[in-house]
Every structure is written in C-alpha cells, then in structure tokens.
Amino acid sequence: MREGKLWINLRQAMDTDPVYKPIFEALISQLKRLNPGFSPLRAYGGILISSPRAQVFFHSDVSETLLLHVKGRKRFRIYPPRAPFVDPQFMEAILHKTQTEDVPFDPAWDEQAAQIDLDPGAFVSWPLHAPHRVENLEGLNVSITVEMVTPQSTLQNGVYHANGVLRQAGWTPRTASTRGVQAYAKMGLSRAFKAYQSVMGAPSEPAPKSETTFDVDLAHKDGLSDRATA
C-alpha cells in the first residue's frame, strides 16, 4: 500500500458501518444546519485509502461531491464544468452508461484549473460535473468522500439524460439549461425513457465504478496487475 499505486474506495462505508454511520449522519445534519436550502435527497459516504504516489485521472462525477481529507497530502485540480473541459455529449453518454466517467483530457487545460493542495483537516467541493484530477503528494492518503443527490443534480442529470434520448432520436438539443418548463418536460422524458427501458429489459451495462479490472499483486511494482494484460 505504501509502495505501490493502490487506490481503495470503501464505498458507502460511512453510511452503512455501525461505527461510522452516526458520524456521517451528524456531518450531514451539520451541513444542513449551516447551509439553509441545502437539502440532499440521498447522501453516501465512502472512505478512500490510497498510496503516496497514486493518482486519479481526469474525470467528471454525476453526483454532487465533497471530499474531507484525513491523512497525507494530495493535490486537486478542478476544471470549469463546461466545454471544452467537459463536453455536454460526454455527460449524456455517462448518464446513458455508454461511457465511463473518464473524459478526454488536455494537459494545457491545467492553466485554467483551480489547484488546491489538501492537508489533513481540509475539505474540497466543486460545482456539479466539474471535471477534476487528483495527485497524491505525500504519505498514505485517507479521505472521506460524500456523494449527494440533490433536487438540482436530479434536474440537471435528467436534462442531460433527456438530451441524450433526443440525440438518439435524431434531434440536436440546443441547451442543457435547467430553467423553465422545458427542463421539467425533459426530466419527464428522461423518466419515461428509463421506465420504458426497465419494462423492455434494456441490457444492463456494468457500472464503471464496479468493474473489476485488476488484481492486487504485491509482486508488481505498482502493487497491482491489470486483468486485461495479466
């Protein structure tokens, strides 16, 4: 763990483990108290443990995220949630599960990124869908992640999902705006399409985050071996 490039995500450890769950619930209720109007529909907490040299490549998450840093040092780079950093069509594809959350990256974009170095006790958050990448700087890294579904993220993701449906039908959506009646109409379309898919038994793609693509292998210099090339 300290030598390789392992990155372990104990998903939902904070909201299911009996030791951590009360801490997580207290955190969420404190966030609600301090931020009037903040009303997550669902919140999930994970524990990230990663090697001193591990990194997380450029990607865009579908949920609102908060990272509370506990141990080690890491560098966050956060990019604006718009083209060219993240193309609307990529968000549509991620939500249609035809693509993973990894999106194309150009190192020249670093100049326009917000760079934030995290020490233990610091936290970071970013606008919905803002792409980001992370490099560990020092020591074994431990962080708590909070993934939240909010009314706003549900509406924005519904609009992107519906735009993807329209694009499949040959239309080119002109906006991913969440304002006005058209946004709610798109959310209705998105829900109807998902209901249709579940009735028709749409082929279920493996969730990218749940794919097993490697095995822990301490004999390997990175601490893991890739299943595809093993």
3-state helix, strand, coil in the chain (%, to 5): 30, 30, 40
**Shortest Å, Cβ 126 to Fe ion:** 9
Quick check: helix, strand or coil at residue 76? strand
| Phi-psi domain of 74 (left: phi exceeds 0; alpha: psi -120 through 50; beta: other) | beta
Residue 64 near residue 124, CB atoms below 8 Å: no
| Closest CB to Fe ion among residues 15, 61 | 61
Choice between 61 and 92, CB closer to Fe ion: 61
Minimum CB distance to Fe ion, residue 59 (Å) = 6
Encoding tokens for residue 157?
């993701």
Query: Looking at 112-207, which runs of residues are DSSP E strands?
Result: 114-118, 123-125, 132-149
The 10 Å CB-count burial string (b at 16+, else e) for 91-113 is bbbbbbeebebebeeeeebeeeb
Min separation Cβ 180 and Fe ion, Å: 30
Complex with Fe ion: residue 114 or 230, whichever CB lies closer? 114
Nearer Cβ to Fe ion (27/67): 67
Q: What angle do CA 138, 143, 149 make, to 5 degrees?
A: 145
- Residue list 73-132, contact with Fe ion (CB under 5 A): none
Element at 199 (helix H, strand E): helix 180-200
User: How many positions of this chain bind Fe ion (CB under 5 A)?
Assistant: 1
- In the complex, the smallest distance separating the C-beta of residue 134 from Fe ion, rounded to whole angstroms, is 8
State the nearest-atom distance from the C-beta of 65 to Fe ion, in Å: 6
Shortest Å distance, C-beta 176 to Fe ion: 20
Q: Which is nearer to Fe ion, 76 or 193 (CB)?
A: 76
Q: Which of residues 51-70 bind Fe ion (CB under 5 A)?
A: 61
- Contact between 66 and 153 (Cβ < 8 Å): no
- Tell me the residue number closest to Fe ion, measured at CB: 61
Which tokens is 27 given? 């955190």
- Of the two residues 94 and 224, which places its CB atom closer to Fe ion in the complex? 94
Residues that bind Fe ion (CB under 5 A): 61
